[in-house]
Structure 1
Amino acid sequence: MAGWRAMTIDRRTLLAASLAAVPAGAVAQTAAALLAPELIYLWPGRDGPGLTNATLAEVVEDRSTDPAKRDRAVSGVRQPRIEAYRPATPNGAAMLVMPGGGYTRLAVDKEGRELAEWLRARGVTAFVLTYRLPAEGWRDPANTPLADAQRSVRLIRAQAARFGVDPARVGAMGFSAGGHLCADLATRFDRAVYAPVDAADRLSARPIIAAPIYPVVSMEEGLAHAGSRAKLIGADATDTMVIEHSPDRQVTRNTPPLFIVHAEDDATVKVANSLALHAAARAAGVPVEMHLFEKGGHGFGWGRRTAGLPAHLWPELFLAWAKGRLVTT
């Protein structure tokens, strides 16, 4: 904790010194450099708890076809972490952003860093989560991603003052399988899925709002995204496992308000997943807003694949909905 506090002082001191020493034309560039994402590992020793695969090594695949738009896929995560994107003038709101990838990989750019930059430009402090993937060698695979999500929310709250964040205004957003993780966090935020490691773990992991975007929700055969189900709970999972890991079956009145987005022409994750979550929220009396778009497909992230379509506007719709809940200024 003390090291983090010193880092904050150093950054402010460096910023003041830099702005005094450089020509006016270079000020914006210098400030932008100091706002580079800050890396925070979730667990002591960096490796996540419960590792059973000693040979696990991180792999980054660059799938970009356009040099101006990066598209990296990360797998083999053994050191889960969050990247903090700090606005020049934070408004006190924070969002944990969870990329998707079928619980096989993480689309860290189009479903993580791009949205984080968009949020940061609007005063929201964004934290992109690189979480452990369940089928890569962990003692409790089905709960491993949730452990990372819970721990992330608690660490953000523990360090809220340092980031200029109101600890009561920490939300969560996820895409596809990351949308499942987002909904899982929203419905099982208080489930004990790891042993506490420090004082941060005494804090609540409940996000104030949750935004699953084209989410995998159900683990029921025929409705589930088959790849995500196989990686998370196994193709031959028991009924008990199916229910436990289907967020639509776990909604209670304590679930935070939900904002759901899906395209009806999604050929990868059936729109019925979002419909099931929406229905469960309504039945439990949980505030929920859902936007179903005619076109958009799957994996459009913050909007790179939906230019010219109504689905391109979903981030603005989210921000409008979040006002009064997450964003108050």
Structure 2
Amino acid sequence: MSLSRRDLVKSPFALAGASVIGMAATEVRAQARAAAPQDIIELWPDAPEGALHPGMTEVIEQTSTSPGYSSRRTNGISRPYMISLPAAQPNGSAMLIIPGGSFQWNYFEHEGYKVADILNRAGISCFVLIYRLAQDGWKEPAKVGPADAQRAMRVIRAQATRFHLDPARVGVLGFSAGGFLTTTLATRHSAAFYSPVDAADQFSARPFLAAPIYPVQCVDPTYAYGGVAPSLFGGPPTPAQIREWSPDLNVTSAAAPTFLVHAEDDDAVPVANSVRLRDAMVAAKITVETHLFAHGGHGFGVGGQPGSPDGLWLPLFLNFARQEKLFA
């Protein structure tokens, strides 16, 4: 079912009506109310250029077949935006949350809203990024996600007063393909992925800290997730593309402190993605904490799979964030 961008995110009833599989309308409506955002923040003053399919419509799908559990995703993003989910008792810190979805979808619930709900309880205000997707068709598909992530960090800082935030204490947390954007922000936050458009672009895009969760980050076919090169480059990567777009090959002393989570039995994104980034961070003397779980597979997020480490990694992240002084 196709919905407008604003109807998709702003209206619980519109959310509830979107491609519901095996769930009563009342159940979906209740979940949609619980996840209803407080605000929608446009990333760009005008629609970004470079779409190969102008006029595409944002679409939402329900992927869950389990009664009482919702796992929605969206694509067809021509005008990226953030969903503001402020903490009830904010401590001045914030996290940009970047869902995954194989560069084809934004899984905005188990890798978005549900994560924000837990971080909100710790006083951390959250912003879920609905970003342009490489597989939706763009002239420079590798750049669109990183550009949206950079812009999101800058817009949050530009509006820090509005959201009662300390602009210095804004981190980023992302999953899978969203982990690619997260690791790119951690390592290439100063790269020129787009030309400045307004005063918000005077702010830094460097995150206070970064938390890539089962991240796609290496584009070297020896270690990479199989879908990364076709999505970003349309085919096998060249040596120059491997060098430019693998965050582990771009770690400098300016990289952000990093918290990594991966499952050893991940059969989609090899655990080597996290291990290689960890090794590069250690070599550059960047603070890094790594948690490798024996079981969990891929895409567990929060509430994603029975028996996954989703109940374990978020408290570990909060401890890391507190140690790094994201919040007291």
Give TM-score, length-normalised by structure 2: 0.86
Residue number in structure 1 paired with 2:237? 237
Larger Rg over CA atoms: 1
Q: Residue by residue, what CA displacement relative to the aligned partner does 1:153-205 show, whole Å, maximum 9, x if unpaired?
A: 00000000111111000000100111111001111110011111110001100
Aligned counterparts of 1:245 and 1:68: Cα–Cα separation in 2: 40
Give the equivalent residue in structure 2 for 1:181.
181
1:152 equivalenced with 2:152 (yes/no): yes
Alignment of 1:320 with 2:319, yes or no, is yes
Whole-Å Cα distance in 1 between the matches of residues 146 and 35 of structure 2? Answer: 31
Cross-structure match for 1:260: 260
RMSD of aligned C-alpha atoms?
1.8
Q: State the distance in 1 between where 2:270 and 2:215 align.
A: 9
Aligned residues: 296
Pair 1:298 & 2:278 matched: no
Trace 1:191-202 onto structure 2 (pairs within 5 A). Answer: 191-202=191-202
Mapped to 2, the partners of 1:227 and 1:143 lie a distance apart of: 16
| Gap runs ≥5 in structure 2 | 1-32
**Which residue of structure 1 aligns with residue 270 of structure 2?**
270
| Partners of 2:189 and 2:327 in 1: CA distance | 24
After superposition, the C-alpha distances for 1:245-283 in whole angstroms (9 at most, x for unaligned) are 111111111001000000111111111111000001011
**C-alpha distance in structure 2 between counterparts of 1:124 and 1:117, whole Å:** 9
Against the structure 1 CA distance between its residues 297 and 311, is the aligned structure 2 distance closer, same or farther, given a 3 Å change threshold? same
Q: Give, as a single letter, the amino acid of the residue that structure 1 aligns with 2:318.
A: L
2:203 aligned residue: 203
Please give the per-residue CA displacement for 1:192-224, whole angstroms capped at 9, x wherever unaligned.
111111100011000010000011111011311
Distance across 2 between alignment mates of 1:88 and 1:221: 44
Q: Distance in 2 between matches of 1:326 and 1:126?
A: 17
SS at structure 2 position matched to 1:82: strand
> Does structure 2 retain, via aligned residues, the 8 Å contact 1:174–1:182?
yes
1:85 alignment partner in structure 2: 85
Distance 1:326 1:144 in 2: 31
Matched-pair contact (CA < 8 Å) for 1:87–1:124 = yes
Q: Secondary structure at the match of 2:40?
A: strand
* Secondary structure, counterpart of 1:226 in structure 2: coil
CA distance in 2, matches of 1:286, 1:34: 35
Letter in 2 for 1:259: F
In 1, are the aligned partners of 2:209 and 2:256 still within 8 Å (CA)? yes
- Cα distance 1:263–1:56, how it changes in 2: closer, same or farther (>3 A)? same
Pair 142,260 (structure 1): closer, same or farther in 2 beyond 3 Å: same
The equivalent residue for 2:135 is 135
1:125 alignment partner AA: S
Residue 140 of structure 1: how far off its partner (Å): 2.0
Deviation at 1:290, TM superposition (A): 0.1
- Shift, 1:67, TM fit: 3.9
Q: Separation in 2 of the partners of 1:69 and 1:326?
A: 34
Partner SS for 1:265 = coil
* 4+ aligned runs moved over 4 Å, structure 1: 32-35
Q: Is the 8 A contact 2:301 2:310 kept in 1?
A: no
User: Would you say the 8 A contact 1:35–1:88 is kept in 2?
Assistant: no
Q: Residue 96 of structure 2 aligns to which amino acid in structure 1?
A: L
Amino acid at match of 1:133: L
| Residue in structure 1 matched with residue 124 of structure 2 by the alignment | 124
1:28 is matched with which residue? Answer: none
Measured after TM superposition, the shift of residue 303 of structure 1 is: 4.2
Q: Are 2:43 and 1:38 aligned?
A: no
Closer, same or farther: CA 179–33 of 1 in aligned 2, 3 Å: closer
Q: Distance in 1 between matches of 2:215 and 2:34?
A: 34
Shift in Å, 1:53: 2.0
Distance 1:250 1:109, change over 3 A: same
Q: Deviations over 1:277-320 (max 9, x none)?
A: 0001011111100000111111000244254x655210000000
For structure 1, the 5+ residue unaligned runs are 1-31
